[in-house]
Structure 1
Amino acid sequence: MTLLPAAVEPEWFSTWFDSPYYHLLYHDRNQAEAQAFLDALLRHLHPRPQARLLDFACGKGRHSIFLSAQGYDVTGIDLSAKSIAAARQHAHEHLHFAVHDMREPLPFGPFDFIVNLFTSFGYFEHESENVLALRNATAALQPGGKLVIDFLNTERTVRELVTHEQKMVDGITFHLHRHLDRGFIVKEIDFRTPDGQQLHFEERVRALSRERFEEYFLLAGLRLVEVLGDYHLRPYDEATSPRMIFILKK
């Protein structure tokens, strides 16, 4: 008798990010705020003209497209094939997209700057996978190149966690429940589709402290240059800042 291997449950992000309901729930993300942040970041980092940039977990490419429009050579990678298919509609000679798992070595580079924006990190079940992703980013940087990681301010987020929320979008009522589970900030998402299906998804982001990030950076061979606390690039304050934006150098 041959025993079949147990089915491996897909990682949450591989199903949720490919769902049309993910994009529906977050359709109202503030594009003006995102572009203002990127403008401020470019002024702060002042890449040389035609610098090579990597958007590390680019989604449908909205930030890659903006960065390319500023004159840089940009590559965007993401695990979601559907998101990359949408992003590729905007591709051109200096804007490229590829389906890629950040836990795998990057087949292209080197880059002058790598950006990982809007909490696109800390999704993996094992912390060693987070370090592996950072090591792959480091390997893809030019010597002296910089990596930017924009993450939520975990201390403040946990302290102010809104446990229950309801959001209606295009006639669909999304029921959101947030809680902590084994070191992760979890958002459970329940809703009924127009054809009557009851669906459940969840988001899991590891509740990483600044100190834990600094351990990761040491293991990945990155030097921490500064920590910023918001999209206006004010200094980070653990008690009040909404974000932890790490500027790192290879």
Structure 2
Amino acid sequence: MPTETEWFSTWFDSPYYHLLYRDRNHQEAQGFIDALLEHLRPKPAARLLDLACGKGRHAIYLSEKGYAVTGVDLSPESIAYARQFEQPQLHFEVHDMRDGLPWGPFDLIFNLFTSFGYFAEETENVVALRSAAAALRPGGKMVIDFMNTERTVSGLVLHEEKVVDGIQFDLRRHLDKDFIVKEIRFTDGAGQEHHFEERVRALRREQFEEYFQMAGLRLAEILGDYHLSPYDELTSPRMIFVLKK
């Protein structure tokens, strides 16, 4: 793995990351999970993996549905938080998705809310997918939920400000070669200035399809939003890939 510090290893462990995004719609997220479970119909005894699980909100909800769930994430802070919710059917591990997954095999793997495409080297995306595919049972499925890059780029909001708990976040977005970059600047309560950035590769459908082929995954369908509508390149907010091993 790379020796230099990668942006996500510091930003995702920052308390300000969780502050900035604390208002994410949990009801919408649970509705999305419900829709996926109804659509995919995993068996009651299925083993599920939440890949890049953050603080575990999706994994926790999946376990409440009765499934055996493992959640993995690169952030030790997030996993430390999630572990307070562990029980016999729910486990959390600190893990880099580029590394092999020793906790499988799994019947269903979720990678949700654009938790992919962070790596500086494009080949690492394929490495991550191959690691996930190796942890799937034959016939198992994987769901990758990514932004609809075409629509996101065409409607990119270049500048916005957001105030949370008295902290004003200055957010600026731009394209840098193959990446959509979000610059995040703010001054904390002690007067200290901070600067973070998020870099997500602007992956098009065709690139994903090449990755899937190299990872030995078959694309079963592409859905376009959290209600699982058909994907339309111009209008869909998401690209939700359903893959099969």
Task: Return the alpha-carbon distance in structure 1 between the equivalents of residues 21 and 203 of structure 2.
Answer: 23
AA paired with 1:119? T
SS in 2 for 1:35: helix
**Which residue matches 2:144?**
149
**Which residue matches 1:212?**
207
TM-score (norm 1): 0.97
**Which residue matches 1:137?**
132
Matched, 1:22 2:5: no
Task: Return the alpha-carbon distance in structure 2 between the equivalents of residues 139 and 50 of structure 1.
Answer: 20
Matched, 1:11 2:6: yes
Equivalent runs, 1:139-178 vs 2, <5 Å: 139-178=134-173
| Partner residue of 2:188 out of 190, 193, 212 | 193
Displacement of 1:8 after TM fit? Answer: 5.2
> Unmatched 5+ residue regions in structure 1?
1-6
| Partner residue of 2:51 out of 50, 56, 63 | 56
**Which residue matches 1:3?**
none
Equivalent runs, 1:215-226 vs 2, <5 Å: 215-226=210-221
AA paired with 2:227? H
Q: Which contiguous aligned blocks of 4+ residues in structure 1 show a shift greater than 4 angstroms?
A: none
Q: Among the aligned pairs, what percent are the same residue?
A: 72
**Which residue matches 1:68?**
63
**In angstroms, what is the RMSD of aligned CA positions?**
0.9
Q: CA offsets, 1:180-224, max 9 Å, x none? A: 002000000000000011000000000000000000000000000
Q: CA offsets, 1:220-249, max 9 Å, x none? A: 000000000000000000000000000000
Number of equivalent positions:
244
**Which residue matches 1:35?**
30
TM-score (norm 2): 0.99
Matched, 1:237 2:232: yes
Task: Return the alpha-carbon distance in structure 2 between the equivalents of residues 50 and 203 of structure 1.
Answer: 37
Task: Return the alpha-carbon distance in structure 2 between the equivalents of residues 122 and 8 of structure 1.
Answer: 18
Task: Return the alpha-carbon distance in structure 2 between the equivalents of residues 206 and 129 of structure 1.
Answer: 12
Task: Return the alpha-carbon distance in structure 1 between the equivalents of residues 212 and 192 of structure 2.
Answer: 43
> Unmatched 5+ residue regions in structure 2?
none
Q: CA offsets, 1:160-191, max 9 Å, x none? A: 00000000000000000000002000000000
